[in-house]
Structure 1
Amino acid sequence: MPAVTEGQPAPVASFESSRELLFGVAYRVLGSVSDAEDVVQEAWLRWDRVDHARIADPRSFLVQVTTRLALDRLRWAKARREAYVGQWLPEPLPTAPAIEDGAEIADSVSVAMLVVMETLSPLERVVFVLREAFEFSFADIAVMVGRSEAAVRQLARRARSHVRERRPRFRQDRDVRRRVTERFLAACLGGDLRALLDLLAPEVTLCIDGNGRRGVARNRVEGAEKVGRLLVRGLRRVLRPDGAAVAATGDARDDIGDDIGSGSVVDVNGGPAALITAGDEPIAVIVVDVDLAADRVTRIWIIANQDKLGGVEGRRPGRPRPVRAAG
């Protein structure tokens, strides 16, 4: 794919000006950074072969090509995910804190939303992304997906209703999530079950994507007591080999112990998260969903599939911040 340079040909400039949009569409449809990058690369190859003089609106054409490529890949991917060992979770997308300036954009790329969108049909998901995240008209979406406008409106209504029933109930706040995430990790790493139970909502759920990794729970775990005991007993043993460090959000400045080391802040999918590393290798990313009114954790997603963590490892913003274990 071409790099951005001054004085580049108009077709290259058109593609470069749309690249962020194309990746945004592809990632939200697929939930995979690597697959989205592949789709954008293929879109460039197709764009490079067309007669540009016949394209009246390059941006719309490129979104249409990217949408159809992403839809085809999603259909293929969903078949593979049905055979996935354990829970399948989205690949973390490194983001800048500034994404919070646009709450709707941040919400559309959040792990919580991507998990909900996994329950949509491929076509419903594409229509939902184009309409809700990028506000394309129904007429434009109809052209992009090769359906009638009436059919697209029906798909959009069905998808919106489905998402509304399953989406997280709580609007997230960066500062609250930062504070709760730090306390959550400190309790886990300190083996403090009492402190952890104080943070967990009674109906809390835990999902771990380990892709068959030994010792990782393959089914969703529900209830504060079960989730708390699993985390206290298993987080270090399963997710953190000797010498790992823990990255989390928060203002703590003290070391959490020689056996764990210091931590660093990461931003993924429009919000703060925790990164567990062993040496220079990422072990897991942990994202929590928080009930703002009660400061309680309602959902926990742990992405421990090593194949999904390379992008997070290479883009850790800011100075490492240590996290202190409770007790």
Structure 2
Amino acid sequence: MDRVVETVVGAAHEAPFMKHRGLLYAVAYRTLGSAKEAEDVVQEAWLRWSRVDPATVVDAEAFLVRVTIRLAIDELRSARVRREAYLGPWLPEPILTRPDIADGVLLADSVSTALLLVLETLSPLERAVFVLREAFGYPYGEIAQFLGRGEPAVRQLAHRARKAVENRRHRYDSDPVTRQQVTERFLAACSGGDITALVGVLAPNVTMVSDGGGFTGAPRKLIHGSDLVARAIVVLSRQQPVGSTGAILHLNGSPGVVVHCDGTTVLAMTLHLVEGLVQTLHVVSNPQKLTGIAL
């Protein structure tokens, strides 16, 4: 009898949580820019949910989002201290996304590495408000309840965050066909070690940002200019393990290049275009940031 009761109670807890788990992860990842930290936050949210009686919760989604966003804010504050000591440039942890991510341009844009980097410049509270409002459309009153703040204060945070993002973000091409075609040309040039072909898909003032976290030979400084970036990419390609293969997968809402060897991802590149040419290239080779990209 006791086991039957435990099963029923377990199901009562698990069903509402699993229903909203994807949402909780999406909120946490956009707030933190790290898949591992987002998973940790979601796991902690589950532990806290498991200690409550679901029958006493009027709105499970509101309860879980409130717990998750508060945990994410706390995690972000401690993560920023760690990132200050990071070796070389820090980039958001790339994640796989569907080509039709939520069938919405806004959701796809909200997970792009370019925007996530801009969000790094916001305060934890500003970032949380921006994510909840701009990416998920929660009303100000509900966000205020999530954060334990007054609605006027939340509106002010949202205004500051939106203004900061508008001033700092770059406007990149969003046409999916163009991005797919350029990514295919980029991968073909990389695979062939063709510097001329690479220069042909790069903007003259392209910037390459590499995140190796001190674990790989990734450059610790930004590289500027199509010729230098093309040569750096060719060198990078030659440094990959024997048997490595490149593939185009959707990373953070747009086509990207993933290099894998024996089933292990060793490199992930996201391309940001302006007028059909690669303006910014984000390269992640830190193995700790690639575990979430399963092929």
Give the structure-2-normalised TM-score: 0.91
2:292 partner SS: helix
* Correspondence 1:126-205 to 2 at 5 A: 126-205=128-207
Q: Mean Cα displacement is larger for which, 193-202 or 135-144?
A: 193-202
Corresponding position of 1:55:
57
Corresponding position of 2:259:
276
Structure 1 residue 103 and structure 2 residue 105: aligned?
yes
Question: Is the Cα contact below 8 Å between 1:172 and 1:289 reproduced in 2?
Answer: no
CA distance in 1, matches of 2:89, 2:8: 45
Deviations 1:142-184 (A, max 9, x none): 1211222121111111111111122231242222112111211
Question: Is the Cα contact below 8 Å between 1:289 and 1:297 reproduced in 2?
Answer: yes
Corresponding position of 2:282:
301
CA distance in 2, matches of 1:227, 1:119: 26
Corresponding position of 2:225:
223
1:290 partner SS: strand
Residue 193 of structure 1: CA displacement? 2.2
2:250 pairs, out of 267, 285, 288, with 267
Corresponding position of 1:288:
271
2:205 partner SS: strand
Question: Is the Cα contact below 8 Å between 1:201 and 1:224 reproduced in 2?
Answer: yes
Give 1:302's aligned amino acid. Answer: V
CA distance in 1, matches of 2:63, 2:228: 50
Corresponding position of 2:238:
237
Question: Is the Cα contact below 8 Å between 1:273 and 1:288 reproduced in 2?
Answer: yes
Residue 107 of structure 1: CA displacement? 0.8
Structure 1 residues 277 and 29, CA gap change in structure 2 (3 angstroms): same
Structure 1 residues 270 and 6, CA gap change in structure 2 (3 angstroms): farther
Give 2:36's aligned amino acid. Answer: S
Question: Is the Cα contact below 8 Å between 1:116 and 1:167 reproduced in 2?
Answer: yes
1:92 partner SS: coil
Corresponding position of 2:87:
85
Structure 1 residues 200 and 6, CA gap change in structure 2 (3 angstroms): farther
Question: Is the Cα contact below 8 Å between 1:110 and 1:270 reproduced in 2?
Answer: yes
Identity %: 50
Question: Is the Cα contact below 8 Å between 2:89 and 2:220 reproduced in 1?
Answer: yes
CA distance in 1, matches of 2:108, 2:95: 11
1:11 pairs, out of 10, 13, 19, with 13
Corresponding position of 2:3:
none
Question: Is the Cα contact below 8 Å between 2:215 and 2:287 reproduced in 1?
Answer: no
1:73 partner SS: helix
Residue 7 of structure 1: CA displacement? 11
1:311 pairs, out of 289, 292, 295, with 292
1:274 partner SS: strand
Aligned residues: 289
Structure 1 residues 6 and 229, CA gap change in structure 2 (3 angstroms): farther
* Structure with the higher helix share, 1 or 2: 2
1:272 partner SS: strand
CA distance in 1, matches of 2:243, 2:20: 43
